[in-house]
Amino acid sequence: MRIDFVTLFPDMFAPVMDASILGRAQEKGLLEWGCVNPRDFSEDKHRKVDDRPFGGGPGMVMMVEPLEKAVESIKKKGSKVILLSPQGETFTDRKASQLAKDGHLVLVCGRYEGVDERALELFDEELSIGDYVLTGGELPAMVLADAVVRKLPGVLKKEEATESESFVSGLLDFPQYTRPRVWRGQEVPEILFSGDHKKIAAWRLSAAKAATKRKRPDLMSRA
């Protein structure tokens, strides 16, 4: 998979994209990424990429032309162009699984008050990582990239596999424990030392349901 970020802050990405599992995915040839800066496509002598909103109001708006040229400079047949914005459909695990099937993602990171509304025709989708306002779309784009790349076959080691994790089954994950066996007087559930994998799986499923009912009852209706 190739992921290109359209961003005014390309230096934000390497620390995240080249670390740990995403870094390993590149070594395995399963991922490549790059950045395109709209400022490099600004015809303006001051390389302007934002301007005041028509109709007045606070803040600035990202101009459509530098965005258009930046997207067109990397878009290929079959590329999926996505704007990260609070106005988008909420990003979910199910969406991550869908996007993991695409070969090329172009993730457009808004700044300022957002992008000129006419730019929306440049994008295949608009996605939000949650109902709160950030200073830029860069962090949401990295969140999306992380959630999608770890679903690519071969990225996670067998033991890291995803099939039994939160949201895949529609339930939250079952509680996990490791050494020490006792901490602050709290003992690890005895069943986990029984070696009876059927009983352990049954205990984990009921624990996952209990946790989901307690923490995310909204998921139960979907599970």
To ligand 4FV, the closest distance from the beta carbon of 79 in angstroms equals 19
Indicate the residue type of 215.
K
To ligand 4FV, the closest distance from the beta carbon of 9 in angstroms equals 11
Among 20-28, 46-54, 84-92, 152-160, which window interacts with ligand 4FV (CB under 6 A)? Answer: 84-92
SS3 of 173, please?
Answer: coil
Nearer to ligand 4FV by Cβ, of 135 and 176: the residue is 135
Residue 81 engages ligand 4FV in binding (rule: CB under 6 A): no
Nearer to ligand 4FV by Cβ, of 128 and 164: the residue is 128
Q: What are the residues facing 161 on neighbouring strands?
A: none
Among residues 123, 118, 11, the alpha carbon closest in space to that of 54 is found at 118
To ligand 4FV, the closest distance from the beta carbon of 141 in angstroms equals 8
Q: What are the residues facing 209 on neighbouring strands?
A: none
Query: What's the CA gap between 170 and 147, in Å, rounded?
Result: 16
Site string for ligand 4FV, 127-156 (x = CB under 6 A): -xxx-xxx-xx--x----------------
Nearer to ligand 4FV by Cβ, of 134 and 156: the residue is 134
Nearer to ligand 4FV by Cβ, of 148 and 155: the residue is 148
Among 7-15, 23-31, 70-78, 126-134, which window interacts with ligand 4FV (CB under 6 A)? Answer: 126-134
Query: What's the CA gap between 72 and 52, in Å, rounded?
Result: 24
Cα dihedral sign, 179-181-184-189: positive
- Residue 114 corresponds to which tokens in the numbers above? 């957002």
Helix axes 20-27, 138-149, angle to 10 degrees: 60
Query: What's the CA gap between 84 and 138, in Å, rounded?
Result: 8
The residue ranges that bind ligand 4FV (CB under 6 A) are 84-86, 110-112, 114, 128-130, 132-134, 136-137, 140
